[in-house]
Amino acid sequence: MKEKIEALRREIEELNYRYYVLSDPLVSDRDYDEKIKELERLELDYPQYADANSPTQRVGSDINLDFRQVEHQYPMLSLSNTYSEREVRDFYERTVKALGEDFETVCELKYDGVSISIKYLDGALSQAITRGDGVHGDDVTANVRTIRSIPLKLHGKDFPNEFEVRGEILMPWSVFDDLNRERIEDEEPPFANPRNAASGTIKLRDPKIVALRHLDAFIYYVLGEGLPSTGHYENLTKAGDWGFKVSDAIKKCTNLDQILAYIAYWDVERKNLPVATDGVVIKVNSTASQNFLGATAKSPRWAIAYKFPPERAVTRLLSVSYQVGRTGVVTPVANLEAVQLSGTVVKRASLHNADNIEKLDLHAGDNVYVEKGGEIIPKITGVDVSSRTLFVGEKITFIDKCPECGAKLIRIEGEAANFCPDKNHCPPQIKGKIEHFISRRAMNIDGLGGEKVGQLYDSGLIHDASDLYTLNPADVLRLDRWARKSVDNLIGSIRRSKEVPFERVLFALGIPEVGETVAKRLAIAFRSIDCLMSATIEDLVSVSDIGIVTAQSVLDFFADALNKTFVERLKSFGLRFVIDDAVLSGNSDILSGQTFVISGVFKKHSRDEYKAMIEKHGGKNSGSVSSKTDYILAGDNMGPAKLDKANSLGIKIISEDEFLEKTGG
């Protein structure tokens, strides 16, 4: 049986290699899955033949990693960076001089991810260590095993018994885009670039989640005793034969012109690659020459990196506009004369905040540098002062009044943002409140997105959310982009929202500090809006988990005459302002006193359903991990920051199945 299991493992690894390294699959996904299933079955039946390098282990195990710090056998040096042809020429000439003869170089792409060092013993992956400080790194072996382009067992026979490879772990653009889309949906901050995403992923403490992130890896260096060749290029080619993914872009050059041509070619062509690159690495090929040249404390003398210039364009600053967000924060945006940058036309760039405008010393009509670094949104990085004429435009200063409602802007001490305080009269803030009111977890009114709310508001049909209940269908139908059917849907959905239970209506009011959980606690504690509105601060803080800040916010909200009228109007339209008995019954207290954080994507129920279940059983939901968290209910693609924090605080992570078992769901 042992032979059969091993043969199947070899066969699957070969299929992996064809798929992930050569991008040339041998069999259909379905056949592949069947083989994996068969192997899993055999491994379950014959646990005595378990092997950490079995392809079934690539999905990651359940163990949580507490990374062990280990010392690198060979320190992981970095490369000295150069930014110009001149510096590359200097490197070349310096090296010819030191070696006393012409030499072969190898040009490679500099992949922009995280570096990794992987040790192989007797043809099997034994340990993978991050760069760390170059001398010590984190043992991330279990995570690296999930990367399918990294072989667990090597092909062929001519590898040394013990050697290391160095390479770059990457998150392909397509995976990065999907991950960020999910994170935004999940209300988690998106990663700024694929490098950050890859580095966050490889440090995750749950290899299962790493496996879902589809990382890739290129190997760019082989080191150890008894390597097959005395040339770096030849050793890398051999590594390709052993099953490693080695870039097709590596090229041997025999003179400086070839190196410069390589740089020029890839500076353009790299834009078509599926992964991020930030330069070219130029290495002396002969390992004997490498040893002769040696290294400084930081970097080898036999290699340099040439970094591609960030994609930058110069264009004219036409004006600065100010956008008021739903929370009242005012963001300055530069309007630019259209310019091509990294294949897109850029007309606007973020200016972030008042301090940044000041730092740039912007004047109207300035020629400004626009860059797209590793980040996605272009930014202004400087002014071409030399192109200013005698007639310099007026200095740009941050506005002091809200462009939407004219209120005087305020800035909170210690914060970078300026914001408009007049939340009751400032149109974007009012629209924001209406959007919150209709949102799925609040009144769940379909058929209205942000744009349509804007349209109804701008056309004067609604002034606040309560006007939705008196909307005249004929008026809506007269507006652009509305048809009979969509109007009927909207009106139906508004009517149905009158059945939404009190706790969600309370949440929909948009009282600052009152999120879903607090709204529910208040609804259960006070049972009706009338009781809540007449509550004192003492009454409010006596409710479990309601602190002084929330209590004061509730008082302030109901002290405002406009809010009172708003509530009265909603009442008159028949919305529910009394708790439903059903909410109070059917509950249990098995989760009482326990705080949960829900993170990731789930298969069996939606996040909202899980939240409701937690509350139904007396537990509490929280949006962020803290020392007060008891459990994290984790689905797929849980955010790495949350995971790290949970691990450092020793918080238990449970899967949806474990949760359902616990609650009898």
Q: Which residues form the catalytic set? A: 110
Least CB distance to ligand IVH at residue 304 (A): 10
DSSP structure string for 253-273: ESSHHHHHHHHHHHHHHGGGS
Instruction: Calculate the dihedral angle through the C-alpha atoms of 450, 453, 458, 464, rounding to the nearest 10 degrees.
Output: -120
Nearer to ligand IVH, 300 or 618 (CB): 300
Instruction: Quote the least distance from Cβ 381 to ligand IVH, whole Å.
Output: 23
Select 191 or 221, whichever has its Cβ closest to ligand IVH. Answer: 221
Total length of the chain = 665
- Closest contact distance (angstroms) between CB of 104 and ligand IVH is 16
Half-sphere exposure of 638 (CA within 13 A, CB side): 29
CA dihedral 185, 190, 196, 202 (to 10 degrees): -20
Cα–Cα distance list, 76 to 106, 137, 167, 278, 303 (Å): 19, 9, 11, 19, 14
| Interstrand relation of 303-307 and 124-130 (parallel, antiparallel or unpaired) | unpaired
Cβ distance 381 to 370 under 8 Å?
A: yes
Which residue number, 77 or 583, has a Cβ lying nearer to ligand IVH?
77
Distance of closest approach, residue 256 Cβ to ligand IVH, in angstroms: 19
Least distance to ligand IVH from the beta carbon of 192, Å?
Answer: 18
- Residue 111 or 631: the one with the smaller Cβ distance to ligand IVH is 111
The tokens for 418 are 């300026």
What are residue 96's DSSP bridge partners? none
Instruction: Give the number of C-alpha atoms closer than 13 A to the C-alpha of residue 511, restricted to the C-beta side.
Output: 32
Q: Which CB, 305 or 368, lies closer to ligand IVH?
A: 305
Strands in 403-478 per DSSP E: 410-411, 418-419
Pairing of strands 379-383, 277-284: unpaired
User: CA angle, corner 220, sides to 166 and 179, nearest 5?
Assistant: 80
Output b/e per residue, 248-265; b: 16+ Cβ within 10 A: ebbbebeebeebbebbee
User: Which runs of consecutive H residues, i.e. helices, occur in 203-340?
Assistant: 207-212, 232-242, 256-269, 287-293
DSSP assignments along 482-530, one per residue = --HHHHHHHHHHHHHGGGS-HHHHHHHTT-TT--HHHHHHHHHHH-BHH
Of 167 and 243, which CB lies nearer to ligand IVH in the complex structure?
167
Q: Please state the closest distance from residue 300 (CB atom) to ligand IVH, in A.
A: 5
- Residue 230 C-beta: closest distance to ligand IVH, Å: 17
Torsions phi, psi of 47, nearest 5? -65, -20
Query: Tokens standing for 546?
Result: 């309601």
Residues that bind ligand IVH (CB under 6 A): 77-79, 108, 110-111, 115, 168, 220-221, 281, 300, 303, 305
The residue of the chain with the least Cβ separation from ligand IVH equals 115
Nearer to ligand IVH, 222 or 281 (CB): 281
Phi, psi at 599, each rounded to 5°: -145, 140
Give 111 or 322: the residue with its C-beta nearer to ligand IVH: 111
Cβ proximity to ligand IVH: between 116 and 334 the closer is 116
Can you say whether the dihedral through the CA atoms of 600, 605, 611, 614 is positive or negative? negative
CB of 246 to ligand IVH, least distance (A): 10
Let me know: does 610 contact 632? Beta carbons within 8 Å: no
Min. distance of Cβ 308 from ligand IVH in angstroms?
12
